[in-house]
Structure formats: C-alpha cells, structure tokens
Structure 1
Amino acid sequence: MTILACAAMPPARPSLRRRRHEHLAHQPRLHHHRSCIPRSRLTCGGAGQPAPGPVHAPIWLLALIALSGSMAMHVFVPALPAAARDLHAGVASVQLTISLYILGMAIGQLFYGPLSDRFGRRPVLMGGLVLYTVAGLGAAFAPDVHSLVAARLLQAFGGCAGLALGRAMVRDTSAPQAAAQRLALMNLMTTIGPGLAPLIGAAVVGIAGWRAIFALFTVAGAACIWLTWRLVPETARPSAQLHWGGLARNYAGLLRSPAFLGYAVGGGCAVTSMYAFIALAPFVFTEQLHRPAYEVGFYVATMVSGIWLGSVAASRLIPHMDIGRLMVRGNALSVAGAFVLLAAALSGHLSVAATVGAMFVFTLGAGMAAPGALARAVSVNPKVIGSASGLYGFIQMAVGALCTTVAGLGHANAALSAALVLAAAGVVAQLAFWTAARYSGRILPA
C-alpha cells in the first residue's frame, strides 16, 4: 500500500531557486558588446545572404562612407598645381596622386568582398576606414611628392572599402525589390559627390591650402569610424574559410570571355577615361586658359554633372530602347565631344566655353553608356555575378588609371594630351562594344 500510495503521489515541485537556475541554464549566453547596436539588430544569417529580422545599416551612412572614398579622388584635383609648387614636383609626378589613387581603388575592390565573407562586413569596413584615416593624416604631413603618392595609394586601399561593402550590406539586409530601391537611393547620393568635390576642394585650397584637404579627410574618416561603430551592425555571418581558388577560377573564366572583356574594357574606356581630363583640368584652365584657380571647381562640377543627367536619361530610355543600342549611341556622343575638344586644341581655338561644352557632351554620353556596359558585363555568366561585378569595377578603375597616367605625360599641352586620350578611348570603347555584341550569346564556364 505504501508503494502504491507513493506512486500515486505527484512529484514534488523543485524549489524556487532550483527552478530559476534551470531556467537560466537554458537561455543563450549574451556577451556584452561595447557597441551601442541593439542585440536585436545583430545578424544570425549566412554570409552574403539577407539576415533575418530588422538588421539595417542607415542608408545615409553607407552613402557617406562610400562618398568619403570617391570624393578623396575628386576633391584633390583643384589642389594639384599648388601641391606641385609646394613640393617642387613636376606635373607628371603630382599626377600620380590621382592615377595611383584610381588604381588603388581598382585593386581593393577585388579583395574586400572575399575578406568580408570570411571575417564579416563590419570589421572589414572598419579596418578600411582606419587605413583611410591614418593615410589621410600621413598625406597631410607628407614632406615630398613620393611620400604623398604613397599615402594616397594607401588612402585608396582604405577608401574603396565603403564602395565595395556598402552595396553588399544593402543586399544582405533587404529583399530584392527593397534592395533595388535602397541601392538606387544610395547611387543617387553618391553620384552627387563628384560634382560637389571640385567646388569643395577649390574652396579649401583657397582658404587654408592643399594640406588642409587631407586634414579634412582625416576628420571625416574618424567621424565615419565612430558612426560605423555606433550605428552599423554586422549584416552577414562570416564563413568558415576564404575560397580563393573558386574566386580565381571565376575571374579566369570571365577573362576568357570575349563578351565580358568587351563590355568591361569598353565600359572603362567610355566612363573612367574622363579622369584623364579631370586630373589635368587645373592645368588646362589656369595655365592654358589663364583662369583663376577658384573657378576650376565650378568648371569641373559643370562637366561632371553630365554623368548625372546621362544616368537620368538612360533610366528613362531603357524601357523604350534596347540597352545595347543605348550604350553604343551614348558612347558615340562621347566620341563626338572628345573630337570637338581635340579640334579646338589643335586649331588653337581653345576656350572655356568650348572645353566645358565638349566635356559636358562627353560625360553626358558616358552617363548613358555606363548602365548598359555594367548590365551586359555581369550578365555574361549568371552563375558568377558577384565576381563579374568586382572584376568589372577593377577593370574600369584600371582603365581610368591608365588613361590618367598617359595623359599626364603630355603636360606641355594638357588640353591636347587629354583630348587625344579621350578620343582614343572613345574609339576603343566603340570597337569593344561591337566586338562584345558578337559574342554576347556565348557563356564560357567559370
């Protein structure tokens, strides 16, 4: 009877302390994080995949970080003559502060994506911002042109982190349609930068000298680091290892594709070749056209605004016109602008109106051609869109660096040198687009 009675009795309830201990034992351990980001915003998704929950980096901050890298190239352009005089350097030497910056941004884009897949977007982004800030400080105190060029190259390696990772963070945290909307807004913000940068650079140089530009970059970089630490969450879970072998195979497959090479090289010649003139613009306007230095920023901003208008025109025309046809016609417009500038330089009728007008037509065509070249290039092999995007960015920036370097060699007549490079690049772009069109239906394995 005693045994049956005991079996019928309900089990004794554990004590309050024991129940509390068991409850806490089943809860996940949350480690304290010094960042002010709420735990609900930290991701638990896979690398490169949209994270579950409301994990969002502020779009204005991602655009600001991307701008800090691209504007560092354009803001310094009005300061080139002053830096050359102060450092007792030639035009070709100081020109390297632009061409190597472009090259650094090209190379960096190949590595930030894989590194962020392995270690996470947030730490890699912050590492790039730290490098950008320290290099800016080094450039501000550069004793000679060689130190300045080295600091600019390191600044480019750090500055391209925002360009490479900002869009990836948007894709990580948004559904496809929402990502497209946020990327469009981000692109609109970053497109404004190149137009405003020369105006800002000219104003800073006129007030405080060229070294103050790098002091401004240092402050901006420090602010971006602090804001990233406070507001930007991790948006993708790091992967177990870096897949360098697979990445190399993807790049090799794309480089064997005539279609991809045609669109990538053509896109670079059609768009980033304009850096050749932008880098020489201070010498064209101040030394050849005898205009004051403070006007250079206004002229460059007017020319660069053609890209924005061309992009707007392309977005309106794409629903009604084949994207390949729009690309070729846009580049034809750029070629016409380049040859007008070349004719003015050769005939001795170079003027501010002719120069700004011809370059506005060139950048207008570039803005129309750019979307088609990128879209066709990344669509060559749908299995490696990410690799194609990174390689396209590298080739585009590398072409821009090459054009800038070649144009800088003809510093005796900067306008003629830039016009020759632009005209040649435009013709190469047109030939590359036509060649790519012949192979556009051919997809080579990665």
Structure 2
Amino acid sequence: MPRKPFQPISALSWRMLLFPLSLVLYEFATYIANDMILPGMPAVVREFGVGEAWVPTGMSAFLAGGAALQWLLGPLSDRVGRRPVLLFGVAFFVASCLATLLVDGIWPFVILRFVQGFGLCFVVAVGYAAIQEAFTEASAVKVTALMANVALISPLIGPLAGAVMIEYAPWRWIFVVIAAVAAVSWFGLWRAMPETAPPTAGPLRARHIWHDYRAVLGNRRFLLGTLALSAGGMPLMAWIGQSPVILIERAGMSALDFGIWQIPIFAALIAGNLALARYAARVPVRRLVAIGSVPLMAGPILTLATLWQPAGWGWLIAGIAIYAFGLGLANAVLYRLTLFASDIGKGTVSASLGMVTLLACSLGIELVKIGYAWLGNGWVALVSCAAGLGYIHCTRAFLGGEAKR
C-alpha cells in the first residue's frame, strides 16, 4: 500500500525542531571539517614539504567533492527516499574523517579532502530538500535561517578550536573530533528524521536522470537564481580559502589571532540570519532579498581600498563583514525561491543547485589563489566586486521573473 504524502509542518515546536537540529549538527560537522583545519594548513604543507599555494587547495578540493555526487544523490533520494540516503552519507563522512589518520603526503591529503567533501553532497542534495519539504514556506525560511546560525558558529569557533588543538595535538586529531560530532548527528537523524519523499516504484534509470536534469537546467528562472546564489557566496568562500595566506603567512599572525579576526565576519553573517528569522513573517521575503543586496554590494566596494593600501587587510575584513550581513539576510530566501522555481523532484533540483554553486565557489577559490600571487589583497577585492555585480544582475532578473508569474 503506497504511503501518504508527507504533510508540511507549519507550527514549530521543540519536538518538530529535533530533525533540523540533528541535521544542522551534521552540517556543522561538515563545515568544521573545513574551518578547524584552516589554522592547521600551514603545518600540513610544512609537514608534507610543499609551498603556501597548497593552503587554499585543500578547501577547493573539499568544495569540489561537495559537488561531485549530487547529480546522483538528488534523483536517488527522490526514488528511494531521503532518510536512508542521508543516514548512509553521514556514516560515510565519519569513516572518511577517520581515514585522515593514515594520510602520508600532500596528494593523498588533497584526494581525501575531495572524498570528505562528499559529506556536503548529502547535506545539500538530500538534507536541504527534506527541510524544504518538511515545512511550509514561512516556517522553512525561519528554520533555514536558524539552521544557518547554528551552522555558522563553525567559522566562529572552528578556526579558534583548530588553533587550540594544534597547540596540544597533531593536526590529524582535528578530524577525529569532527568524526565524533558527525556520529552524534547520525544518531539524532536516525531517531528524528521523517521520510518526506516516500520511495517510488521502479529502477533508477540514466535516461530519467538525464531528462530531469535537462528540465531543471533548462529552466531560465532556476539558472538565474542559482547563478545569483553562486555569485553571492563567492566573496565569502574566497575569503575563507585565502585568509590563512593573507593573515598567517603574509601578515604574520598566530593561529589564535587568525581565528579571532574571523569573528567580525561571521558574527555579521549570523546577525543577518537573525534579522531574517525575525522579519520573515512581517516583511515580504522577496523584499528582504532586495534589502540584503545593499550591504552585499557595499561591502565589496569598501574592500577596493586595498588597491591603494595593499597591506591593509583590515579593509578586507571590514568590507567582507558588511557584505556578510547582507548575505545572511538574503541567502535563505533566495535559496527557497530558487528551489521551487522548478517542478521537478526537489532532490534533483537541490542537487543541481548544489553542484553549480559549489563548483562555482571552488573555481572562485582557485581563481583568487592564482591572481593573489600577482596582485595580493587587491585581487581579492576585485573578484569580490565582480561577484557582487553578478549577484545584483542575476537577482534583479530572477525577482523580475518572479513578479511576472
């Protein structure tokens, strides 16, 4: 007998929040898999006898891995259900983190970082889709914003925690801690996660996958929203990837000072998410996207001061912090609108969205790394401004199409 479709939840309670809280703990684990190792990357490259150019490569490999499996996981979870796919993914991520104890060279390390990035695939293609299906629009926006606040604690405490750990233990033990956090999240998801996409009959066929992806990627509104999200997230991802070089290698900061100087940026991002959670029920969500676009563009413009003061990393931090507030205010709403721009199964849509955005951010990090060798901090500012302009253009076109519907 076929299961009844899952009915979206409109009223939030602690019992209903157990699932998203368990999911966000796993998301937190995947984020600190990147953030905790940031202050340890100079030690990693020294141990393996390679140069500073490899520092951001670990992050870009992680993000590329985060896009690698989404093409399969989205349709697979549409077919067999979200719950079994996500539970398997969390267990796989735990195993990949523990495998870091066996790494003995920079290439095995980078390859393993790519494999660990698969953990992001399960968050984006399966977890986010389940959240959007489990709650009504207003509730989903609130839950997504609150989840983002919890997840964004990782960039605040991750570098600091990583800096403290490498003072007392080898850097590999960072991944043991991450594996332990992910294992706790697996238990919470096993207890609390509902099945929002009941399994459907029949095998998963390549032609069906191709048909669905062609329909999604051929949707102009979906592409505009996805490109806007990609451009909007690029300055933050570029900063995270390049900041160990900017602050530790070039500015001569300690790992602890590096972690402290991340706080203004991610505190601003959390403030933007809190503002979104507070006003989502009072202000039309599309207007919040427009409001968030102002600081999202103003911040990168401020960073252009580094073209006249090349060593002025403070301009980068101030500008990226202003930008981060706007990103926090607009990102969750834009994600929701983009996800529902297509009528194809939300696992496939979420996977398409995740693949494009993560690949764009991975390429953006490598672009910043290459240009930084010649233009330094000014190159980071120029890329951030270009990304901001791309975001404004795509968002206006996307919202214009939304208004015509």
TM-score, normalised to structure 1, is: 0.77
Residue 76 (str. 1) matches residue 30 (str. 2):
no
Give the structure 2 partner of residue 396 of structure 1: 357
**Separation of aligned partners in 2, 1:325 and 1:176:** 15
Q: Judging changes above 3 Å, is the alpha-carbon distance between structure 1 residues 141 and 383 closer, same or farther for their aligned structure 2 residues?
A: closer
Q: Which amino acid aligns with 2:256?
A: Y
CA displacement at 1:176 relative to structure 2: 7.8
Query: Cα 1:332–1:403, aligned 2, differ >3 Å: closer, same or farther?
Result: farther
Counterpart of 2:66?
105
**Counterpart Cα distance in 2 of 1:196 and 1:103:** 24
Of 262, 276, 295, the residue aligned with 1:333 is: 295
What's the counterpart of residue 247 of structure 2? 285
Q: Structure 1, unaligned stretches of length 5 or more?
A: 1-42
Residues 44 and 166 of structure 1: is their aligned pair in 2 closer, same or farther, counting only changes over 3 Å? farther
Tell me, in whole angstroms, the C-alpha distance in 1 between the residues paired with 2:234 and 2:362: 8
**Which of 423-432 and 284-293 deviates more?**
284-293
Q: Which residue number corresponds to residue 265 of structure 1?
A: 227
Which one has more relative contact order, counting CA pairs under 8 Å at least 6 apart? 2
Task: Report the CA distance between 1:66 and its aligned residue.
Answer: 2.2
Question: Which amino acid counterpart does residue 58 of structure 2 have in structure 1?
Answer: T
What's 1:116 paired with? 77
Residues in 2 aligned to 1:258 and 1:113: alpha-carbon distance in whole angstroms: 20
Q: Distance in 1 between matches of 2:308 and 2:132?
A: 51
* Contact 1:270–1:425, Cα closer than 8 Å, also in 2: yes
Q: Is the 8 A contact 2:132 2:336 kept in 1?
A: no
SS in 1 for 2:117: helix
Q: Deviations over 1:231-265 (max 9, x none)?
A: 35673643323365444333323322333222211
Amino acid at match of 1:267: L
> How high is the TM-score relative to the length of structure 2?
0.83
Contact 1:306 1:360 in 2 (8 A): yes
Matches within 5 A, 1:309-348: 309-316=271-278, 323-344=285-306, 346-348=307-309
Kindly provide the CA deviation profile for residues 356-378 of structure 1, in whole angstroms up to 9, marking residues without a partner as x: 21211121121123134224323
Query: 1:136 touches 1:215 (CA, 8 Å); kept in 2?
Result: yes
Equivalent-residue separation in structure 1 for 2:289 and 2:206 (angstroms): 33
User: Structure 2 matches for 1:160-239, cutoff 5 A?
Assistant: 160-169=121-130, 185-225=146-186, 231=191, 235=195, 237-239=198-200
Count of residue correspondences = 397
Q: 1:121 to 1:386 in 2, by over 3 A?
A: closer
1:271 partner SS:
helix
Per-residue deviation, residues 263-295 of structure 1 (Å, max 9, x unmatched): 211111112431111111111112332222211
**Equivalent in the alignment of 1:369:** 330
CA contact (8 A) 2:228 2:394 kept: yes
Q: Output the amino acid matched with 1:146.
A: W
The 8 Å contact of residues 156 and 266 in structure 2, kept in 1 or not, is answered as yes
**Structure 2 counterpart of 1:45:** 3
Partner of 1:306: 268
Describe the SS at the equivalent of 2:358: helix
Specify the code of the residue in structure 2 equivalent to 1:156.
G
Q: Which residue of structure 2 aligns with residue 13 of structure 1? A: none
Bigger mean CA offset, 315-324 vs 248-257: 315-324
Asked if the contact 2:125–2:350 (Cα under 8 Å) also holds between the matched residues in 1, the reply is no
Shift of 1:59: 4.3
Whether the aligned pair in 1 keeps the contact of 2:225 and 2:338 (CA below 8 Å) is: yes
The whole-number CA distance in structure 1 between the counterparts of 2:222 and 2:188 is: 38
Moved more, 144-153 or 293-302: 293-302
Deviation at 1:400, TM superposition (A): 1.3
Change (3 A) 1:126 1:377: closer
User: Which of 303, 313, 321 matches 1:360?
Assistant: 321
Partner of 2:12 in structure 1? none
Identity rate of aligned residues, in percent? 24
Corresponding residue of 1:416:
378
In structure 2, the residue matched to 1:128 is 89
**Alignment deviations for residues 91-110 of structure 1 (CA, whole Å, 9 cap, x no partner):** 33342211121122233344
1:29 aligned residue: none
CA gap of 1:313–1:173, structure 2 versus 1, over 3 A, is closer
Distance 1:57 1:163, change over 3 A: farther
